[in-house]
Amino acid sequence: MKFNIQSNSRNNSGLLIIPVVGSNWSELLKEKLGGKSVNPSIFSGKKDSSYQLEIGGRLVLLIGLGEKTDVSSIEKSFRRVLSKNKDLVEKSVSIDFSAEFSTELIESALVGFQLGAYNIGFFKQKKEDQKDFAELEVSVISQESGLEKTLDRAAKIAAAKIEGFKLVDLPPNVITPAYLADWAKKSGAEYGFKTTIFDQEKAKEEGLDAFLAVARGSAKAPKFIIMEYRSPNAKSHLGLVGKGVTFDTGGLNIKTQGMVYMKSDMGGAAAVLAATQLIASLKLPINLTAIVPAVENSVDKDAYLPSEVIGSHAGLSIEVIDTDAEGRLILADGLSYLVKNYQVDQLIDFATLTGSSVGTFGYECGALFSNSDTISDLLRKAGMQSGEKVWPLPMWESYRSEMDSEIADIKNYHGKPIAGAITAAKFLEAFIHEHPNWAHLDIAGVAFGDSEFAKTKSGTAFGVQLLLKFIENQL
């Protein structure tokens, strides 16, 4: 899309979009519509409402945002424009923001507008009348200062989120560990961060035994992806780890239901990869090291077995109780490697880890675990601001005994239908080498799901804007 800034909409002929918020929308609309009023019984400006009309041969779309809006709601409202009203759009669009719209709200609206062009029909035959919005001219009308920066930020945020969508939505015969490694290399070359890929041989040299154990049953070779972004103005170093199970059969403890959705088990990796692209593209003044251990958890004669005892980068032996508790194994090596080889000030991992977190929070927010009240509060605040909400669960030491093994240092699953998300977090804690500022985000219920923008479950890019807020709140 091609964005530009204009002082008014009179010189344009394409669709005019007027978003309204607050209680004085009626007088505002009369002013923007050249004295024409809108009957409140037809359009009341309430949240999630819209109304189309024609004035002087020009199409106008009114978007109601309610008495008070937030960044998440406005993003969704604007995503509907191209997703559900594409027939109204031809070659150009004007968006007329009133004084009630802050820079932050304008940014969210423009992000949402661009997300509306995303479609998961990657492999469908293209229709002759199918619209391509790459050349769409978008005029932004606002009295806010610094609009050029807002347009640039919105484009970069939208681009990163769309990559997050794609990485989850593409099928597992496309999104393989090798694909994620190639994606990281290409993104690093484009946006300016260093990418290092460990193959099986190098991973073995580095002692990433838990990571390699999960990959044994797959014909697709694992890739241990390391991305390093450095800023000359950095005052802190953030470490990220994202679970990258590109497809999860459950291994020999094979899943008995819902396997068709297991292409989404790399939602944590998608968040970390897309966030790394965004951080680098915005040139944020931090240092970042991000790791994605990428594997496929499959079944063949070499697959790792329930009751095996495997090694780990941290030196701890692990009794495998359940091969479907594989995500925590690759995260364990990712966390340990990151802490041992990089001096990070804060350490955060993202993972679609447990059904237990979904049972606790449903599809409303991610489960947050941390050994630091400071980092927990910062993440919770950033989640509320971004609309990507996370909420804390306890990390009491009494839960640690649930992971005790008779034969090894620790087991990967406690085998009980209770406290599954918490005990998984306690397992991961054993591999952070007592790092004082660690947080684990279990995003199983929010990284992939039903939405109004697709007829099937699809990716959400959950975590990308959460991390952006988390970082910028500390700058």
Instruction: List the catalytic residues.
Output: 255, 328
The dihedrals phi and psi of 187, each to the nearest 5 degrees, come to -65, -40
Residue type, 464: V
Could you give the C-alpha distances from 368 to 1, 81, 240, 335, 440, in angstroms and in order?
36, 33, 15, 16, 6
Q: Which residues face 287 on adjacent strands?
A: 237
Structure tokens at 346: 């804060």
What whole-number distance in Å separates Cα of residue 201 and Cα of residue 214? 15
Cα 340 → chain centroid: 26
Burial category of 88 from C-beta neighbours within 10 Å (exposed 0-12, middle 13-18, buried 19 and up): middle
Torsion from C-alpha of 121, 122, 125, 128, nearest 10 degrees: 80
User: In whole angstroms, what is the distance from residue 403 CA to residue 408 CA?
Assistant: 10
CB contact set of 136 (below 8 Å; sequence gap of 6+): 1, 2, 89, 91, 92, 93
Nearest alpha-carbon partner for 451 in 120, 17, 47: 120
Helix-helix angle 420-429:327-341, to 10 degrees: 30
